[in-house]
Amino acid sequence: MEQDTQFELGTAVGRSQAFAVIANKCSAAQAESMHRIHESQTYKSTGLSWEDFCIQHFGLSRRRVDEIIQRLEEFGTTYFQLCDLVRISPEDYRRLAPSVAGETLDIGGESIPIAPENAARIRQAVATLKSGPVQPNLRSLLRRTDSWIADAAALHGDSGVRDLIASTLQKLTALERAPAA
Protein backbone atom coordinates (compact mmCIF):
# COMPACT_ATOMS: atom_id res chain seq x y z
CA MET A 1 0.00 0.00 0.00
CA GLU A 2 2.80 2.44 0.95
CA GLN A 3 4.59 1.61 -2.30
CA ASP A 4 1.42 2.40 -4.29
CA THR A 5 1.09 5.75 -2.50
CA GLN A 6 4.73 6.58 -3.23
CA PHE A 7 4.29 5.62 -6.89
CA GLU A 8 1.12 7.70 -7.17
CA LEU A 9 2.85 10.67 -5.55
CA GLY A 10 5.89 10.31 -7.81
CA THR A 11 3.65 10.17 -10.86
CA ALA A 12 1.72 13.27 -9.78
CA VAL A 13 4.91 15.21 -9.02
CA GLY A 14 6.40 14.17 -12.36
CA ARG A 15 3.30 15.34 -14.15
CA SER A 16 3.39 18.66 -12.34
CA GLN A 17 7.06 19.15 -13.21
CA ALA A 18 6.40 18.26 -16.85
CA PHE A 19 3.52 20.74 -16.93
CA ALA A 20 5.80 23.41 -15.53
CA VAL A 21 8.24 22.84 -18.39
CA ILE A 22 5.49 23.51 -20.92
CA ALA A 23 3.52 25.85 -18.68
CA ASN A 24 1.99 27.98 -21.41
CA LYS A 25 0.07 24.97 -22.61
CA CYS A 26 -0.67 23.15 -19.34
CA SER A 27 -1.08 25.57 -16.45
CA ALA A 28 -4.64 24.33 -15.80
CA ALA A 29 -3.41 20.74 -15.66
CA GLN A 30 -0.54 21.79 -13.40
CA ALA A 31 -2.97 23.51 -11.03
CA GLU A 32 -5.17 20.41 -10.98
CA SER A 33 -2.13 18.26 -10.19
CA MET A 34 -1.14 20.54 -7.31
CA HIS A 35 -4.71 20.49 -6.03
CA ARG A 36 -4.89 16.69 -6.20
CA ILE A 37 -1.62 16.28 -4.28
CA HIS A 38 -2.69 18.79 -1.62
CA GLU A 39 -6.19 17.38 -1.17
CA SER A 40 -5.05 13.73 -1.05
CA GLN A 41 -2.19 14.71 1.28
CA THR A 42 0.05 12.18 -0.46
CA TYR A 43 2.91 14.66 -0.08
CA LYS A 44 3.03 13.64 3.61
CA SER A 45 4.50 10.27 2.63
CA THR A 46 7.73 12.13 1.75
CA GLY A 47 8.11 13.27 5.35
CA LEU A 48 8.04 16.89 4.18
CA SER A 49 5.71 19.63 5.31
CA TRP A 50 3.45 21.12 2.62
CA GLU A 51 5.69 24.19 2.61
CA ASP A 52 8.89 22.20 2.05
CA PHE A 53 7.19 19.91 -0.48
CA CYS A 54 6.09 22.90 -2.57
CA ILE A 55 9.62 24.32 -2.65
CA GLN A 56 11.39 21.03 -3.34
CA HIS A 57 8.96 19.46 -5.82
CA PHE A 58 7.12 22.35 -7.49
CA GLY A 59 9.89 24.90 -7.23
CA LEU A 60 7.40 27.40 -5.82
CA SER A 61 6.64 28.77 -2.38
CA ARG A 62 3.76 27.25 -0.43
CA ARG A 63 2.00 30.60 -0.62
CA ARG A 64 2.24 30.64 -4.43
CA VAL A 65 0.99 27.06 -4.74
CA ASP A 66 -1.88 27.82 -2.35
CA GLU A 67 -2.79 30.85 -4.52
CA ILE A 68 -2.81 28.66 -7.63
CA ILE A 69 -5.03 26.08 -5.92
CA GLN A 70 -7.35 28.81 -4.64
CA ARG A 71 -7.73 30.23 -8.17
CA LEU A 72 -8.52 26.78 -9.50
CA GLU A 73 -11.18 26.31 -6.83
CA GLU A 74 -12.66 29.78 -7.37
CA PHE A 75 -12.51 30.06 -11.15
CA GLY A 76 -11.99 26.56 -12.55
CA THR A 77 -9.71 25.61 -15.40
CA THR A 78 -11.05 28.26 -17.79
CA TYR A 79 -9.19 30.94 -15.85
CA PHE A 80 -5.88 29.20 -16.53
CA GLN A 81 -6.76 28.63 -20.19
CA LEU A 82 -7.48 32.34 -20.55
CA CYS A 83 -4.26 33.24 -18.71
CA ASP A 84 -2.34 31.17 -21.26
CA LEU A 85 -3.56 33.58 -23.94
CA VAL A 86 -3.69 36.96 -22.20
CA ARG A 87 -2.36 38.46 -18.98
CA ILE A 88 -5.27 38.77 -16.63
CA SER A 89 -5.35 39.29 -12.89
CA PRO A 90 -7.86 37.51 -10.64
CA GLU A 91 -9.60 40.86 -10.12
CA ASP A 92 -9.98 41.41 -13.86
CA TYR A 93 -11.17 37.83 -14.31
CA ARG A 94 -13.88 38.42 -11.70
CA ARG A 95 -15.05 41.39 -13.79
CA LEU A 96 -14.99 39.27 -16.93
CA ALA A 97 -16.63 36.23 -15.32
CA PRO A 98 -20.15 37.22 -16.48
CA SER A 99 -18.83 37.01 -20.06
CA VAL A 100 -17.21 33.59 -19.58
CA ALA A 101 -19.39 30.58 -20.28
CA GLY A 102 -17.75 27.19 -20.26
CA GLU A 103 -14.70 27.56 -22.46
CA THR A 104 -15.93 30.58 -24.39
CA LEU A 105 -15.88 34.33 -23.97
CA ASP A 106 -19.18 36.01 -24.90
CA ILE A 107 -18.66 39.49 -26.29
CA GLY A 108 -21.54 41.48 -27.73
CA GLY A 109 -23.53 38.35 -28.53
CA GLU A 110 -20.54 36.61 -30.13
CA SER A 111 -19.06 33.52 -28.48
CA ILE A 112 -15.30 33.24 -28.91
CA PRO A 113 -13.83 29.84 -27.95
CA ILE A 114 -10.90 30.23 -25.54
CA ALA A 115 -8.28 28.62 -27.75
CA PRO A 116 -4.82 29.61 -29.08
CA GLU A 117 -6.14 30.22 -32.61
CA ASN A 118 -8.40 32.94 -31.17
CA ALA A 119 -5.71 34.59 -29.03
CA ALA A 120 -5.69 37.91 -30.92
CA ARG A 121 -9.49 38.24 -30.78
CA ILE A 122 -9.50 37.27 -27.11
CA ARG A 123 -6.82 39.83 -26.24
CA GLN A 124 -8.83 42.52 -28.00
CA ALA A 125 -12.07 41.42 -26.32
CA VAL A 126 -10.43 41.30 -22.88
CA ALA A 127 -8.97 44.78 -23.38
CA THR A 128 -12.43 46.04 -24.35
CA LEU A 129 -14.09 44.38 -21.39
CA LYS A 130 -11.44 45.62 -18.97
CA SER A 131 -11.92 49.19 -20.12
CA GLY A 132 -15.69 49.35 -19.91
CA PRO A 133 -18.73 47.94 -18.18
CA VAL A 134 -19.78 44.39 -18.99
CA GLN A 135 -23.23 44.26 -20.56
CA PRO A 136 -25.02 41.03 -19.71
CA ASN A 137 -27.14 39.37 -22.39
CA LEU A 138 -29.60 36.50 -22.29
CA ARG A 139 -27.45 34.17 -24.38
CA SER A 140 -24.48 34.63 -22.07
CA LEU A 141 -26.70 34.25 -19.00
CA LEU A 142 -28.18 31.00 -20.33
CA ARG A 143 -24.74 29.54 -21.01
CA ARG A 144 -23.50 30.51 -17.55
CA THR A 145 -26.66 29.08 -15.97
CA ASP A 146 -26.17 25.79 -17.84
CA SER A 147 -22.53 25.72 -16.71
CA TRP A 148 -23.54 26.45 -13.10
CA ILE A 149 -26.15 23.68 -13.16
CA ALA A 150 -23.59 21.22 -14.56
CA ASP A 151 -21.17 22.17 -11.75
CA ALA A 152 -23.92 21.75 -9.13
CA ALA A 153 -24.84 18.35 -10.61
CA ALA A 154 -21.19 17.25 -10.41
CA LEU A 155 -21.17 18.16 -6.71
CA HIS A 156 -24.62 16.71 -6.05
CA GLY A 157 -23.39 14.41 -3.28
CA ASP A 158 -21.82 17.35 -1.42
CA SER A 159 -23.91 18.34 1.61
CA GLY A 160 -23.71 22.05 0.81
CA VAL A 161 -25.26 21.71 -2.66
CA ARG A 162 -28.82 21.39 -1.35
CA ASP A 163 -28.39 24.60 0.66
CA LEU A 164 -26.92 26.34 -2.38
CA ILE A 165 -29.84 25.25 -4.56
CA ALA A 166 -32.40 26.34 -1.93
CA SER A 167 -30.72 29.74 -1.56
CA THR A 168 -30.56 30.19 -5.33
CA LEU A 169 -34.25 29.29 -5.72
CA GLN A 170 -35.18 31.85 -3.04
CA LYS A 171 -33.23 34.56 -4.86
CA LEU A 172 -34.72 33.62 -8.24
CA THR A 173 -38.24 33.63 -6.77
CA ALA A 174 -37.64 37.10 -5.28
CA LEU A 175 -36.34 38.29 -8.65
CA GLU A 176 -39.36 36.86 -10.44
CA ARG A 177 -41.74 38.66 -8.07
CA ALA A 178 -39.90 41.99 -8.19
CA PRO A 179 -41.38 44.66 -10.46
CA ALA A 180 -39.63 44.99 -13.83
CA ALA A 181 -37.17 47.87 -14.07
Range of the domain at 149: 84-181
Are residues 65 and 154 part of one domain?
A: no
- Could you give the number of structural domains in the chain? 2
pLDDT tens by residue, 19-56: 554 544 458 889 999 999 999 999 999 999 999 999 99
Q: What residue type is 39 in one-letter code?
A: E
Q: Specify the pLDDT at position 14.
A: 64
| Same-domain check for residues 93 and 177 | yes
Please indicate, yes or no, whether residues 143 and 166 belong to a single structural domain of this protein: yes
Kindly state whether residues 55 and 106 are assigned to the same domain: no
In the predicted structure, residue 178 carries a pLDDT above the cut 80: yes
pLDDT band at 134 (very low <50, low <70, confident <90, very high): low
In this structure, the answer to whether residues 15 and 93 fall within a common structural domain is no
Same structural domain, 67 and 107: no
pTM of the model: 0.60
Confidence of residue 13 (pLDDT cuts 50, 70, 90): low
The predicted pLDDT at position 67 comes to: 93
